[in-house]
Amino acid sequence: MEYYNYLKSLHLIFVITWFAGLFYIVRLFVYQIEAADKPSPEKEILQKQFKIMSYRLWYIITWPSAVLASIFAFWMLFFTPTGNAWLQMSWMHVKLGFVFALYLYHLKCHQIFKQLQNDEVKYTTNFMRLWNEGATIILFAVVFLVILKNAVNWIYGVIGIILFSVLIMLGFKFYKRIRERK
C-alpha cells in the first residue's frame, strides 16, 4: 500500500502528458491543413516542419504517455488492495467508459496523423478545431467523476458537459466570424 501514492502520481503525470499531446496534435493538424493551401515553396517547407513536429509529439510524448498512464492505472486497479474496491463502484465503471472513449479519440487522431503524414487532407480546419474539443469534454467528464466519485451526480455532470459543449460550439462560431471579417 505504501507504493500506491507513487503509482497514482505516475498515473496522473502520464494522464496529463497524454492530454497535452492530444490537445497539441490536433492543433498541429490544423496547421498542416492550412499549410496545404499555401503557395510553393512555403507549402513544402511548412508541411515538412509540421510532419516532423507531429511525428515527434505523437511517438515520443503522446503514445508513450497513453501506454504508461494505462499501465499505472491497471497496476493500481488490479495489483493493489484498494483497486479491487474501486472496481466495485459504479462511478469507476462510468470513468472506464470515458477512458475507452478517450482511446477511441486517440485512435482516430492516429488515423488522421497517418493521413496527414501521407499528404492526405480529408478534413477541414473547422472540423479539426471542433474535433480538438472532444478531448476537452472527456477531460472534464473524467475529472468531475473522479473528484465527485458518484455516478448519480455524474448525471448532473452530463448536463453540465452538454452545456459546456454548446458553449464551446457557440464560442467557435463566434471566433470563426471574427476570423472571417479580418
| 160: helix, strand or coil | helix
The answer to whether 54 and 32 are in contact (CB under 8 A) is yes
95 is in an annotated binding site: yes
142 phi and psi, to 5 degrees?
A: -70, -45
Type of residue numbered 121 = V
Amino acid sitting at position 19:
F
81 in Cβ contact with 13 (< 8 Å): no
122 is in an annotated binding site: no
Report in angstroms the alpha-carbon separations of 152 from 71, 90, 94, 144: 28, 9, 10, 12
**What b/e readout covers 83-107, taking b as 16+ CB neighbours within 10 angstroms?**
beeeeeeebbebbeebbebbeebbe
Q: If you ran DSSP here, which 8-state letter would residue 39 be given? A: P
Q: Strand, coil or helix: what is 180?
A: helix
Which residues make up each annotated binding site for heme?
Answer: 11, 95
Residue ranges for the known binding site are 11, 95
